[in-house]
Amino acid sequence: MAENPLKVLLVEDDPAVRLGCEQALDLEGIPVQSFESAEALRSALSADSPGVVISDVRLPGKDGLTLLRELRTLDATLPVVLITGHGDIGMAVQAMKDGAYDFLEKPFPAEQLVEVARRALEKRALTLEVRSLRRQLADGGPGHIVQRLIGRSPAMENLRRLIRDLADTQADVLIHGETGTGKELVARCLHECSRRRDAHFVALNCGGLPESVFESELFGHEAGAFTGAQKLRVGKIEYASGGTLFLDEIETMPLPLQIKLLRVFQERVIERLGANHPIPVDCRVIAATKADLRQQSAEGQFRSDLYYRLNVVSLEIPPLRERREDIPLLFEHFAREAALRHEREMPPVDEAVTRQLFAHDWPGNVRELRNAADRFVLGLGHALISGGTMDGGELPLARAVESFESALIAEALRRHDHNLSRTALALQVAKTTLHDKLKKYGLRGDWEEK
């Protein structure tokens, strides 16, 4: 995203109105830069400008409608809010059809100006963040992959920080997360941000292998080690030497192999099947699970010594339902990727789509959201959610209402910098009521009780 803070670019030739708007925005902590004419603004503006435009329609020289058309050519995603006089409503409606973000009719209260400005700035921030992420992915370079862990929620900020802190250490890592949360992506981030980035990243899904070939896949085999072993095979662990070995769904690894893997952890050597000599290996091991390994260890379903060896460093990936404030950003990012992949126009994400996204429980997490974005871009809006649920069912009404309410509160908290009083005022509820709902929905964040 742009390094400069987002601000309102105000175009108003009336000094009194201009001063009033500046003061209203300043009082709410919204940066504002004013211009007396469209020409003055245009010379100071470029694509990717970190702000939104609020302009009077009637200006000396170039009017607001002409400015709108020019800005749409410069950057079609730039939110432009028009200020109209009484009787200009027809003109304003046409301007909305031509791409204006919103309009304000004079005289308007300061609260209305502030609310429109906040919404426009939120939209601009989202657009610039998605744009920045795409550039970072295209640019590449060590560490860029961490930016693919998209989200502004405290949980995701913390996860990115932990990855950067742990990446260049030699510590093996255990990743916890539900299906579809992105455990392999986190593992790749750890690898790409480390000094091992130029060596192999070797991924093995333990749940996808028959037990009969598991040992050969991990440790390799000599020619003639067993029937069908016609030539030497290098196993995953040996191939990952110098790099990173990622073991997904490690809870499904057969118990007899777990003790052999423990030896790799402790001694950093392997023996191929059919061989009698140890082979030194130097690979970092990252394991991932959706299960409670502590409980499985207690029940004898997973070796406790391996669990404790793995659990020196652990990372938790939050499910999507616990970071609903990230859903709009993720969805727009995936939709833009899908539009490029399918060579389609990016459809507008309207309120109806947003309501569906917030109300859904996302049992398939980020993977399910990505699939929903694909259907959206392909014009299958009617199947946006119901066609992609992993359990195939709809949420009960009460659960859907709670999910939607939780998402609205989380979004309002973020919009008001996690300030409890301002959020309660914006949502028109008592502060005590909001406090109770934060506890009910387990919403986290550094919100202040003031």
Where residue 30 sits, what CATH number does that domain have?
Answer: 3.40.50.2300
What is the reported pTM?
A: 0.61
Instruction: Could you list the beta-strand ranges (E) of 48-96.
Output: 51-56, 80-84
User: What stretch of H or E contains 414?
Assistant: helix 397-415
Torsion of CA 238, 242, 247, 248, to 10 degrees: -130
- Do 159 and 272 belong to one domain? yes
- Considering 316, 334, 365, which residue would you say is the last residue of a domain? 316
* 447 lies in some domain: no
Strands 233-234 and 244-248: unpaired
- The predicted structure's pLDDT at residue 393: 44
φ, ψ for residue 169, nearest 5 deg: -90, 170
Q: What is the pLDDT of residues 190-223, one digit of tens each?
A: 999 899 999 999 999 998 788 778 888 899 888 8
Token pair for residue 390?
């992993």
Q: Could you give the angle at the alpha carbon of 121 between the alpha carbons of 118 and 123, nearest 5°? A: 110
Distinct helix (H) and strand (E) counts, the chain: 18, 14
Q: What is the pLDDT of residues 105-157, one digit of tens each?
A: 888 899 999 999 998 898 888 778 777 766 655 554 444 556 678 888 888 88
* 2 lies in some domain: no
* 326 lies in some domain: yes
* 450 lies in some domain: no
Sequence letter at residue 428 = Q
* 94 lies in some domain: yes
Of 369, 326, 315, give the one whose Cα is nearest residue 133. 326
- Do 208 and 250 belong to one domain? yes
Considering its fold, how many domains does the chain have in total?
3
- Do 430 and 347 belong to one domain? yes
CB-side neighbour CA atoms (13 Å) of 333: 25
- The predicted structure's pLDDT at residue 245: 95
- The predicted structure's pLDDT at residue 225: 75
Beta carbons within 8 Å of 289's beta carbon, 6+ residues apart = 174, 175, 176, 249, 250, 251
Which CATH number do you get for residue 243? 3.40.50.300
- Considering 136, 158, 189, which residue would you say is the last residue of a domain? 136
- Considering 136, 156, 186, which residue would you say is the last residue of a domain? 136
Could you count the other beta carbons within 10 Å of the beta carbon of residue 60?
A: 10
- Do 233 and 155 belong to one domain? yes
- The predicted structure's pLDDT at residue 149: 85
DSSP for 160-177 reads HHHHHHHTTS---EEEE-
- What letter does residue 104 receive in the DSSP assignment? E
CB burial of residue 405 (10 Å; 0-12, 13-18, 19+): middle
* 187 lies in some domain: yes
- Do 175 and 276 belong to one domain? yes
How far apart CA 400 and CA 362 sit, in angstroms, is: 11
Could you count the other beta carbons within 10 Å of the beta carbon of residue 74?
A: 14
Could you count the other beta carbons within 10 Å of the beta carbon of residue 135?
A: 12
3-state class (DSSP) for residue 75? coil
Contact call for residues 372 and 385 (beta carbons, < 8 A): yes
**CB pairs under 8 A, 24+ apart, for 357-360?**
357/327, 357/328, 357/331, 357/385, 358/324, 358/327, 358/403, 358/404, 358/407, 358/408, 358/411, 359/395, 359/400, 359/401, 359/403, 359/404, 359/407, 360/385, 360/389, 360/395, 360/400, 360/403
How far apart CA 135 and CA 129 sit, in angstroms, is: 10
Contact call for residues 425 and 415 (beta carbons, < 8 A): no
- Do 213 and 310 belong to one domain? yes
Q: What is the pLDDT of residues 169-181, one digit of tens each?
A: 988 999 999 999 9
Token pair for residue 419?
């300030």
Print the domain residue range for 61: 7-136
Owner of token pair 């040992």: 215
What residues of the chain score a pLDDT lower than 70? 1-4, 47-48, 86-89, 133-147, 381-383, 385-400, 403-404, 414-415, 417, 442-450
- Do 430 and 296 belong to one domain? no
- Do 221 and 183 belong to one domain? yes
- Do 177 and 37 belong to one domain? no
Of 240, 267, 241, 265, give the one whose Cα is nearest residue 253. 265
Sequence letter at residue 281 = V
How far apart CA 307 and CA 361 sit, in angstroms, is: 31
* 282 lies in some domain: yes
* 448 lies in some domain: no
- What letter does residue 6 receive in the DSSP assignment? P
- The predicted structure's pLDDT at residue 188: 93
- Do 81 and 203 belong to one domain? no
- The predicted structure's pLDDT at residue 3: 46
Of 266, 254, 284, give the one whose Cα is nearest residue 174. 284
- Do 332 and 354 belong to one domain? yes
- Do 242 and 297 belong to one domain? yes
- The predicted structure's pLDDT at residue 446: 45
Contact call for residues 7 and 50 (beta carbons, < 8 A): yes
